[in-house]
Amino acid sequence: MTRPLLLRGARLIDPDAGRDEVGDLLVIDGRIADLGGTLAAPDGAELLDAAGAVLCPGLVDMRAALGEPGFEYRETIASAAAAAAAGGITTLAALPDSVPALDDPALVRLLRARGEETASLTIHPYGAATRGCRGEELAELGLLREAGAVAFGDGQACIASARLMKLALSYARCIGGRIVQHPEEPVLAAGAAATDGEWAMRLGLPGVPAVAELIQVQRDIELARLTGGALHFAHVSTAAALGAIRAAKADGLNVTCDTAPPYFDLNETAIGDWRSYAKLSPPLRREADRLAVCAGLADGTIDAVASDHQPRDADDKRLPFAQASPGAAGLATLLAVTLARGHGGDLTLPRAIELLTAAPARVLGIEAGRMRRGDPADLCLFDLDAGWQIVAGELPGKAQNTPFDGRPVEGRVLGTWKAGRRVHG
């Protein structure tokens, strides 16, 4: 039993409930007992003056690699949990392309349990769509679903076979599951290090044409139309692919998508003089695509923003650009870089928070990302206007491979609570 906690005078924003008001929130026994208006403090309660700060649900990150198992030199569950707490994240969906891949129900259960052990982060594992994430044969989706897999995909690998994708969508539909695709036609993308065009040519880098994303998206939309399956596209980054997804939604297909902060905050020029921290998969795009992603966030075409956290060790990045591992750390910077779109006028503050809380929870079908009476008190308190600078080497957690190194941002997490227990701040 812990003391009741009363947070006073915060700006309470809960997009799931349409709430945006100044008021109090009371936590008793790890759950939200009451919120809104001026509340009386129970005897012995801890009082926290939150005036001037925003209090929202703990963030839900729907796409992150944890490093463990298999790549503990890059990241561990413990270090990822610390970075997540510092970023206001209390719920995370973990990618399945670890070593071993999450194609065994026992591994799904183990990862869920390891999340509970942190006492700060709920982990919802993705199940591998194919055995070993190799794209050769379907994994046991039904058993993985029973073990707690929140959706199915092959992580950073595209499910290239149209036959396998059709089977996966059909099978997942029968068990109430969703298939998550890395939308990049793999033959066109093979060996690429940047988006094909003037910038890649100037740096002498092998490029992938941006149309590789559209080709994969269009194929899989038609398979979703054929099967009636639920399909999600990860880290969408091009205007053309967003147009196809927008049309699919208008047709009533069960198609959703997310993007990640690099694709609405950076463009291909960020690779500069072969800056390997800005080497991503998919690669950074042209400015017109970045602007299209911003528009997709505002008009609802893009359902959620995910960190797309891909921890890399310094030795993974200290290589010639074409040989360096793609991927960026994103847990601690997720909120601040997303808020930049609000500061820039592209998004309202409630919409920015929705993209990080209620919206990803809806896509995943989980109970998180909201503030209701009786819910676990998973909370994020932040100062909307507090400025700080993202510096590689000074981020919480083990992974430091941020493409935003040196970028000034506004929006600092003041406190994170998991089930009423303060885990950061």
Residue 252 confidence class, pLDDT cut points 50, 70, 90: very high
Give the H/E segment covering residue 141.
helix 141-147
State how far the Cα of 60 lies from the Cα of 258, in Å rounded to an integer: 12
> Comparing C-alpha atoms, which of 84, 92, 16 is closest to residue 364?
92
Give the H/E segment covering residue 335.
helix 334-343
CATH entry, 5-55+376-424, from 3.40.50.300, 2.40.110.10, 2.30.40.10, 3.40.640.10:
2.30.40.10
pLDDT computed for residue 344 by the predictor? 87
- Averaged pLDDT, 61-83: 95
308 catalytically annotated: yes
Residue type, 185: E
State how far the Cα of 18 lies from the Cα of 56, in Å rounded to an integer: 12
Backbone φ, ψ for residue 336 (5° rounding): -60, -40
> Comparing C-alpha atoms, which of 133, 132, 113 is closest to residue 123?
113
pLDDT computed for residue 260 by the predictor? 98
Order the strands of the 230-233 sheet from edge to edge: 127-128, 152-153, 178-181, 230-233, 255-259, 304-305
Cα-based distances in Å from 125 to 84, 102, 103, 105, 263: 16, 8, 11, 10, 24
pLDDT computed for residue 66 by the predictor? 94
Name the pTM for this structure: 0.96
pLDDT digits (tens, 9 = 90+) for 183-232: 999 999 999 999 999 999 999 999 999 999 999 999 999 999 999 999 99
Task: Please state whether beta strands 230-233 and 19-28 pair in parallel, antiparallel, or not at all (unpaired).
Answer: unpaired
Say which of 154, 289, 308, 378 is annotated catalytic.
Answer: 308
Q: Where are the domains of the chain?
A: 5-55+376-424, 58-364
pLDDT computed for residue 1 by the predictor? 62
Mean pLDDT of all residues in the chain? 97
pLDDT computed for residue 2 by the predictor? 82
pLDDT digits (tens, 9 = 90+) for 298-348: 999 999 999 999 999 999 999 999 999 999 999 999 999 999 999 988 999
CATH entry, 58-364, from 3.20.20.140, 1.10.10.10, 1.10.3720.10, 3.40.50.1100:
3.20.20.140
pLDDT digits (tens, 9 = 90+) for 6-53: 999 999 999 999 999 999 999 999 999 999 999 999 999 999 999 999
